[in-house]
Chain A
Amino acid sequence: MATLGELERSIMEILWASADSLSAYDLQERLSDRKLAATTILTVLSRLENKGFVARSRDARPHRYTAAATREDHMAELMHEVLGGATDRMAVLERFVGQVSPAEAETLRRLLS
């Protein structure tokens, strides 16, 4: 049994890879190996919508869902925070990150030799 987080990730993976918007039933079909109830998928979708990761189109029934931004956009946002580009990087205790210019790297290498 996958956790809710893992289910969210699987659904986002499908939405990111899909060119068209998908309904909960489309998603259920693509996740058929997991034997999920449509209501479970709808719950996860509404959680993702609340968090701003998924956009819902209410024009047609059943509602259709798309990813609000590309995976690359989200990855860029995450790395931006980690690398300290964000104005205040409160939440993240980071240090083992790549962020030194080549000249400075040379100094570091000299230190080690």
Chain B
Amino acid sequence: MLAASIALAVLAVLLAWPVPIALGRATWPHRAPAVALALWQSIALAGGLSMIGALLTFGLSPFGHDIVDAAIGFTQLDGIAAPWHVLALCAALLLTVHLLFNLVATVVRSERQRRRHAQLVTLLSSPLESGARLIDSPTPVAYCLPGPFSSVTVYSAGLVELLSPGELEAVVEHEKAHVLQRHDVVLIAFRAWYASLPWFPIAYRAQREVGLLIEMLADDRARRSVDTGTLARAIAAVGATGAGESTSPAELSDRIRRLELQPLPLAREALVIGGAAALLGVPTVLLFAPALLAALG
């Protein structure tokens, strides 16, 4: 139990610090945004699991020699827990509740915001034949407002004026990808993670990186319909007008630069997917393997 607890704690620290930093610095994710996205999700999930698992196994260690045995022992109060064991159990419970609460709170908050925004869009835009909406703002914008049942894509008059038909098609295909691939769901999970652990510099980084990977995935979809040059011009043209606050120009140039790069070889993509799956397996095995071995032996 104690050995598993220590191993889980080590894994939790690795996944909270050096691993995301290394992944954030690596250059290959821009060549394979889909698998990189899977890896980020696996890191976040395995990180949370090992954090809670480390506390839980430590807290339960006086009650038995594996997690199932100890859980039964705990319900029967069959063991003597020191204050630090109680503390660890409370922390495990608090952390679990905290993470789940933030997930729910984030979903509720963004749904409220989304609804308000959708109302504004309804009043300020006219419908297009495609079902998308056109707002008469001179600022060139295109975005997708995701919803639980249907998503709305919004284009501004400024965008239509600025782009050539080909570039406009690139933007439309890009926004379609966001809708079809339900990028909002991935994004909201990482936003909830960031909301839960705002003091973790990693959570912010992960959220930003995941946001960027999602844009790259959408760009890849747009590339199926228009040529790379047109897409690059669309990204740059929209990015190059007006002055705003939040998206860094580095992200825009990352998106343009990567269009020149070769995608990651399939074998290496498979390797990353295997790694992501293994990563999820490690805390699970650490938690339950001793119990399984005991049951078999």
- Residues on A facing B (Cβ under 8 Å): 5-6, 8-9, 12, 51, 53, 71, 74-75, 77-79, 81-85, 88-101, 104-105, 107-109, 111-112
Contact = CB atoms under 8 A, between A and B. Distances in A.
Contact of A71 (B119, B124, B158, B256): B124
A71 B175 CA distance: 26
B123 interface: yes
B253 A107 contact: yes
B196 to A, nearest CB: 14
A108 B242 contact: no
A96 B215 CA distance: 9
A91 B152 CA distance: 12
Contacts, number: 161
B84 to A, nearest CB: 37
B142 A98 contact: no
B225 interface: no
> Which of B187, B244, B253, B257: most chain A CB closer than 10 A?
B244
Contact of A78 (B124, B142, B246, B253): B124
A99 B140 CA distance: 9
Interface residues of B, number: 61
Contacts of A71: 124
Contact of B241 (A85, A91, A98): A98
The 10 closest A-B pairs by CB, nearest first: A99-B244, A84-B246, A98-B242, A105-B240, A90-B110, A94-B143, A91-B114, A104-B249, A91-B113, A98-B241
B257 A108 contact: no
Given A82-B141, A100-B240, A112-B232, A95 B215 contact: yes
Interface in B242-285: 242-247, 249, 252-253, 256-257
Contacts of B191: 88, 90
Contacts of A6: 127
A111 B246 contact: no
Given A78-B117, A105-B239, A93 B124 contact: no
A89 B175 CA distance: 17
A53 B159 contact: no
B176 interface: no
Contact of B123 (A9, A88, A90, A92): A9
Contacts of B135: 75, 78
B253 A82 contact: no
B122 A9 contact: yes
A112 B233 CA distance: 7
A79 B141 contact: yes
B161 to A, nearest CB: 12
A75 B120 CA distance: 8
Nearest to B136: A75
B122 A97 contact: no
B238 interface: yes
